[in-house]
Structure 1
Amino acid sequence: MRFPSVVFLAALSVSAIGVPVMAQEAPKAQPPVMTRPDGATVPLEVTPPPAPLPPNRVILQVGEIALTAGQLEQILEAYSEAQRVYVNGPGRPQFIQQLIRVLMLSQEGKRRKLDETDRYRNQLTYSAAGILSNHTEEDIRKKIKIDDAMLEDYLKAHPLDYMQVRARHILIRTPGSSLPLEPGQKELTDAEALTKAQELRAKIVAGADFADVAKIESNDISTNTKGGDLGFFKRGQMAPSIEEAAFALKPGEISQPVKTSMGYTVIKVEEIKPVKSFEELRPDLERNLRNELTRKYVDDLKALTKIEIDPEFAAPRKGSFPVKPAQ
């Protein structure tokens, strides 16, 4: 588990600073249980999280630097959720030792007057700018006002991202497919498989029932007995080529043969409906719209900011770069 840089931790470390009574008639709550691999059911011991420490309480003293619980909480806000869980759990001893090392060496660096060097000041400037940049982006995102009308407009502009499709398909196997050849099945060339898929599509367009043709002709053994029924799926659940074709169709429409890693597939969309209701989608819609509006704000800000880039600096460099040896 990696943690933020020494400069980051040092900068933050030195700069911040009754149970309801149940009615007698109520049934007694049953303790939680778990099932072991051998099938036995045993009580599950649930340990409540410890109470948070007072924010002004000094939790670590290293030399002249005292770190409070409140300061540590602010430092951890820069971590991902997974890192915070790790630091507050099994990684706590490792994290404490890293804090000690960072605070100890930062004080040693001051005694050596390393904080007065241009190298330190330039690196600190960029590190501090990165922290302030993150805080600014977070503040922009929080202060964006979003109402239901905006969410509805966003949903209308991105309908397929929040829809699910029920479709059927007929798959014709091609050489190299992961699908095994069935007993007595002829190995078709790529061209022959494409021709067969096109002929089957023409047969269906002329009036044949898609499900009946799929039961007889489809090489997908997981769906052919169900008339090629793929069930409902949303974006990200199917191969990209199948997904692109299916979401481009209206109910009742049939695709041209689509090439996949297993062969050529002909797709028919049966039904399209929302993944969830508007209220259920609200958190996702608000998060995605907020992210989009934040990106737009930053892009607009960039357009208004004077930016000059040295063309020689911006040009890609060829060859290797000399590495300055450590001193």
Structure 2
Amino acid sequence: MNHRAISASVFSLLFVLTTTFPVFAWQDSGQGETLLTLGGEPIEKDELIYLISKGQDSNPTSAGMSRDEFEENLKLFINYKLKVREAEALGLDKTDEFYREFESFKENLKSPYLIKNSLEEGELRKAYSRMQEVVRASHILFQFPANASKDDSLIVLRMALKIRDEINAGGDINELAVEHSDDPSAKINKGDLGYFTALQMVQPFEDAAFSLQPGQVSDPVMTNFGYHIIKVFDKRPNPGQVKVSHILVRIDEEDPNSEDLARRKVADIYTEIQKENTIWEDIVKNYSEDPSSSQNGGMLPYFSVGSMIPEFEMAAFSLTEIGEVSPPVRTKYGYHILRLEEKKPIDSFEDLEESIRSKIMRDSRSTMIQSQVMAIQKARYNFDENESSVANLENKLKTFTKSQLPGAVAAKGLDNEELFTLQGKTYTMNDLVSFIEEEELSIRAKTTVFDAWYDRFTASVLNKAEDADILANNKEYQMLVKEYHDGILMFSLMNQEVWQKGIEDSVGQKAFYEENIQNYQWDDRVNAYVVKVLDITQVDAARNLLKGKEYSQELVESFETEYRTNKPLAYQTENGLIEYKKHLILSQANLNENYQEIEANGHLHLILLGQKSPAGPKKFHETRGLVIKDYQEQLDKALIDELKNKYPVQVNPKAKEEAFISLNQN
């Protein structure tokens, strides 16, 4: 759930619960930051400023706050804090339900303040910035042999450097790719990758390609696939997304005559398309050999650069006018004719944010971010690893599995071996063993089991240190946590003492209704059927059915059935026992005439009147919803009256004035 949306709802709830009550004079204790006390418990002025400021932020057109508005908000704030104080006194903050809900909120609220979040945000913005551009490049891949040694890697590197020098000396990278590239597709595309944008290549390859200018050749770029030599041919603005329909004529690679037959067939189709009155969808249905699209006009979903094979993609993005048809295009599938259906620019950052995040978290950037997070945490929290001890432990424990590790540590007497210190506290192998025993999940270790669990334990300790730091030192986070803590408690108290009680206490509802019967009164009413004529050509039909008739439910039902069946758009009707004095139409009616016609707001209204009913009290079932609402308001007021006596309120005038001034500063 979005925490800003929750926050807004808590804030709205806080300032809806308004009740006026007396405030006692402040006894100055020299605590300038204390705005007020409730039963002796201090409340800081910063909390009031924070909550009101959030309300002002949600309404950016508001210009400052008047004195009356501030006083009203202060009363509402005090009501809120009284209820929170009572909820705590009742132990509502000690329940399992509260703990689960609050801890869940805390975890979500913490995210924006984490080091990881700021680094992720930077990567997201960088990726989106790169997505504004597309790059056309070719490459040659030099793969490492299986189980490559350091010497093997150097041999591959030297070969990559040699080919790079040839390209820089004027060699054709595409011809060299056919000869040297270990990328299987190079035999077909000669290393030409077409156009691509951010997040479509592995990170090191992308970084290199976006750093080069057209015509430049990279030094060897190492990825998990091996070394790449990259040459950039073009950079241009990202054209966004395109939707095309197409006709496909396939080529059978095993039939030597297939190429010539397909070329002639697609030429005939293209000629047919040029004729006047030709229907594209019919041509597609009759001739296209793409079974997935031939029955729907050849339509393909929107796609962006880097999503299709290069020849098809370049043809699609070269079309400029909606309905424009391309000449035949050869791909590995055969010959295509494309028609442009729609174009749209690249989506906004907000629309793409989650998609970009998902892609980043699945590639090597996520590992890079985590490494950067740990480096910053180690520097910030004075992390000092006992390198010799850790190396010794790794050597002695490298052959053991997770389940064997605790026993091996005990048997070898390694429990108290130091791992590292953090913020002055020393962590030992015993702490790591406890961590391993508490964890239910296993780790797929690329290194030894000890190394994998040591890294996870270190990350856990560092993350806890960061969490504690944020809670202790980040004022905004502290305020946000307190807002949610108090908001949940107030909600729980109100639900227990006001809302559910108001709904479930039927005896209290009826007693309240009887005590306040004067608030639940009908005005003078009349049984009426009002027919608003929407289609003036149907007015005579309505007159014939209503004029000269007595008002009755049978007549109303007969008319309703007739017009809903045959002329559902001809009339708009209203029926029932209606308070007529403030009714837009009935207030103009002559109550002594059964049938009459009134012109109002550009429409003719046919009116049929029945028996009149004088003003009088509403029955309980007729107004139960309003009674419950009013009863809840009374319960709320009674609760506030009780709490203001239980927890006397004292306000500090100096801090109050400071808060008012602060809220009105630009």
TM-score range, shorter-chain basis?
Answer: 0.3 to 0.5
Q: Higher helix fraction: Structure 1 or Structure 2?
A: 2
Work out which of the two has the higher radius of gyration on C-alpha atoms and give 1 or 2. 2
- TM-score of the superposition, structure 2-length normalised? 0.21
